[in-house]
Amino acid sequence: MATAHSELGGILHLVGVAPAINTLLRSALEPEVTVEAMGSQDRLYHHFQEGHQPADTVLLGMDIEDPVRIAQRIHTYDHHVPILILTAPSRCDQLKRTLMFSPFLGNEVVPWSTAEVDELPSAIRDAVNRRRQRMRYLNTISRAQIRLEKLPLLQPEATYYLDQLLDHAPIGVLTVDLNCAILTINRQAQTILSVSERSALGRPLEEQFPLREQGRLAALLQHGLKGMERHKPEIFEVDAPAGAVRFLEVTPAPLAYRTGQRGAMLILQDVTDRVAAECERQRAEDDLRYHATVLRSFHEISSDRELSLEEKLHRLLKLGCEQFGLPNAILSRIDGQCFQILDSVSDHPAYVVGTSKDLDQTYCSATVFTNEPVAFEHAGITEWRHHPSYLEHRMEAYIGVRIVVDGGLYGTLCFSSPAPRYSSFSSADLEVLKLMSQWVGNELQRERAEAHMRKLSGALEQAADSVMITDRDRRIEYVNPAFERLTGYAKADVIGHKTYFLRSGMHDEVFYQDLWQVVGNGGVYRGVLVNRKKDGSIFHEQKTISPLKDMQGRITHFISTGHDISDRVKAEALDRQHKAELAHVGRLSVLGEMTSGLAHELNQPLCAITTYAQTCLRIIQSGNCKPDDVRYGLEQVVKQAELGGAIFRRLRNFARKGDLRQQRIDLREVILEVASFVRADVQQNQVQLHLDIRRQLPAVMADPIQIEQVLLNLVRNSMDALSDTDEGRRQITIKAVRHERHSVKVCISDSGCGCPQEVADRLFEPFFTTKATGLGIGLGISQSIIDAHGGRLWLEEGAVQGATFCFVLPGSGESRHEKHPTIR
């Protein structure tokens, strides 16, 4: 191609082109094409304005802004100069579209991707050659026109020369006389009009055009024949083979010969591609306008706050009827095979709202499988004529699409008409319908979500438990009426505030840190919080705090529910107090029972003191007083007095009143203490007390006095049970062993009368006793003490002789059943 036209030469002007491309073009094109860099577009404009030799092609580089505007300006100087615009590959398509919608027509302005820069020299060469060729033909034609005027009409050489020239022109050229009969027709014009020279010459030009265009052509010719200046071109539609049409641009120019004869010259160009591009552009513009109109209507409907959802949907159906030009519209709900009409716009009796039918009896049965609309314009002439719906209702035109809500099929939106639709549904129609169904789907989904939310928020509002929702920073976003009632704070007081104002000061900072660590890590906190009401009073709240997470599993909020358990806490405290009092009474009663033994125990040091004191007196009175003898006597007095004092201290401790005071204790010590307590009693009653205490028992958390009380109760009961046993066989054993890993098990066995089943069944009942002077509270108190320590007390079953009572106490390292918050 390049070599074929290399003799033509030409000028390429570069504006804003990178030096590398400049160099590339020079080496590829010169000397054939002179490459001139213009620096800036202003220099190029100046070049044109000054009337210098015009460029044959202009290349606009990447360094300039708004190349389309610059190209437009260049075309105001020279409408035919080809312009190539260099662009990044990613922007190339966009630029093509911009050019398509710009006033440029044809191929004069072309975007060129930098990815194809290797092809650029060849493209420029072609553009330059085309331009040069075009210029040459135009010059030739205008020169021929001048010569024709100068030469005598029909001078044979001139005619021959002109014919030869025109025959090779790439544009159609023909001349007509005043009657519009064809005088000359070049080869290109013959091709364009699909006519031979022989059949065309002398015939009216109109004959070559279809009837529908002949009037317009005649008018143009008349104008061309009469006017003295060139007329602007007009486009005509001519028939092409196989029912196609082509578009011809006809530019008339008057011809006036020296002879005074007048005629016209016509330049014909096949602009079918250009017109097709223009039509496509027009269609795209119409589609855009159509979309914009429908969107505006959508917007008007959806944003109308006065309308309910039902009213909005009804308006949408009407809008669809108008848009598609179909009289019937249906919004359906599909449940399995049941097709139910939720709303409709129609006079047809079958389309009344509420009507249900089998889905297979409707055209919509075909639309439910895909998100794409189903549409046909004339069912009667297609396979649709066999569809049950056609046979029943004879709807010729139909367009429908499914509606999806929450990811599942909800129903359909469809429009139909008993009359065929003579223009086919456009892709814009299908897009609009899809848009409508998405809109309906979204609206229904939102309505569903709102209804769900209404239900939820109603439940929260009605809930008896207090509910509080905070954001991640623990700022309150919502509280329910139960919260207001419980705390005394109104919603308006607390929204936006952090929750600190509820703190009572009863929990330490570590407590709150532990709590928020649990929920902050996605866990659920359950526990009792001591909080403060607006009036300053304290209340106990059984709380559950859970994190709320978004779809990605990130914590966005915390929700806490709670109820006031202050009454329960008070009742429990009262219960504890009653139990402590009862235990106290129990201890006093045990002491009462032990009076004679204790008296005996105390009597011994008192007697010893009396004896030692009397001996000392006697030594002093004898006159032979040795100080060492007296000192020994007095030392014994002190020792016995201390023994007595220890007995009193133990009694006082045991009899003291008080709440549970747990501490880490060694059960061995407690058992030894109890053994010395009962020593006198045991001796008096001639009972043998055995201790079997294993080494290295785990320490337990317990109140030593209360455990002493339990042991004393059990030992005293054993002694009572031994009263009828022969003196030599009265035995009590206290055994303590490690139980499981960290607990301690203590068993008190006796060789007494044992417990018959009817007694064993009622042992722990309050006031149950088989003794004449018994109170029947000892075992009950003992059991509640062991329970309060997290342990268990029971009568061992199947004892061969006597009775064995056991209890287990958890080791100090074991966790308790329920973890209570630390209360300061």
Which spans of this chain sit near ligand ADP (rule: CB under 6 A)?
713, 717-718, 721, 750, 752-755, 759, 763, 768-771, 774-780, 803
| Cα–Cα distances in angstroms (integers) from residue 240 to residues 171, 247, 278, in the given order | 18, 9, 19
Minimum CB distance to ligand ADP smaller for 460 or for 674? 674
- Beta carbons within 8 Å of 491's beta carbon, 6+ residues apart: 479, 484
Q: Measured from the CB of residue 704, what is the shortest distance to ligand ADP in angstroms? A: 21
Q: Which is nearer to ligand ADP, 529 or 777 (CB)?
A: 777
Q: Which residue is nearest to ligand ADP (CB)?
A: 778
**Nearer to ligand ADP among residue 671 and residue 722 (C-beta):** 722
By beta-carbon proximity to ligand ADP, the closer residue of 404 and 671 is: 671
CA dihedral of 604, 606, 607, 609, whole degrees rounded to 10: 120
Residue 184 three-state SS: strand
User: Nearer Cβ to ligand ADP, position 541 or 593?
Assistant: 593
**Minimal distance, residue 773 CB to ligand ADP, in Å:** 8
Choose between 169 and 732: whose C-beta lies nearer to ligand ADP: 732
For ligand ADP, the closer of residues 222 and 589 by Cβ is: 589
| Helices within 365-416 (DSSP H only) | 388-393
* Minimum distance, C-beta of residue 472 to ligand ADP, in the bound complex (Å): 57
Distance of CA 341 to the CA centre of its chain: 33
* Residue-wise burial string across 641-673, b where 16 or more C-beta atoms lie within 10 A, e elsewhere: eebbeebeebbeebeeeeeeeeeebbbbebbeb
Report, in Å, the least distance between residue 746 CB and ligand ADP.
Answer: 14
- CB nearer to ligand ADP: give 180 or 721: 721
Residue by residue, DSSP assigns 284-332 as HHHHHHHHHHHHHHHHHHHT-TTS-HHHHHHHHHHHHHHHHT-SEEEEE
Q: How far apart are CA 25 and CA 11, in angstroms?
A: 12
Q: How far is the CB of 599 from ligand ADP (least distance, A)?
A: 21
| Bridge partners, residue 184, by sequence | 175
Least Cβ distance, residue 805 to ligand ADP (angstroms): 6
Alpha-carbon distance values, 803 to 346, 775, 795, 797 (Å) = 94, 20, 7, 9
* Closest separation in Å from C-beta 500 to ligand ADP: 51
| Helix (H) and strand (E) counts in the chain | 24, 28
* Least distance in angstroms from the C-beta of 563 to ligand ADP: 38
**Which residue lies nearer to ligand ADP by CB, 104 or 768?**
768
| In the complex, least distance from residue 722 CB atom to ligand ADP, rounded to whole angstroms | 8
For the CB of residue 700, give the shortest distance to ligand ADP in the complex, in Å.
23
- 135 CB contacts (<8 Å, ≥6 apart)? 56, 80
* Helix (H), strand (E), coil (C) string for 233-295: CEEEEEECCCCCEEEEEEEEEEEECCCCCEEEEEEEEECHHHHHHHHHHHHHHHHHHHHHHHH
CA dist., res. 255 & res. 92, Å (int): 45
- Across 584-623, b (16+ Cβ under 10 Å) vs e yields bebbebbeebbeebbeebbeebeebbeebeebbeebeeee
Which CB, 373 or 778, lies closer to ligand ADP? Answer: 778
Can you tell me which residue has the tokens 């569903």? 448
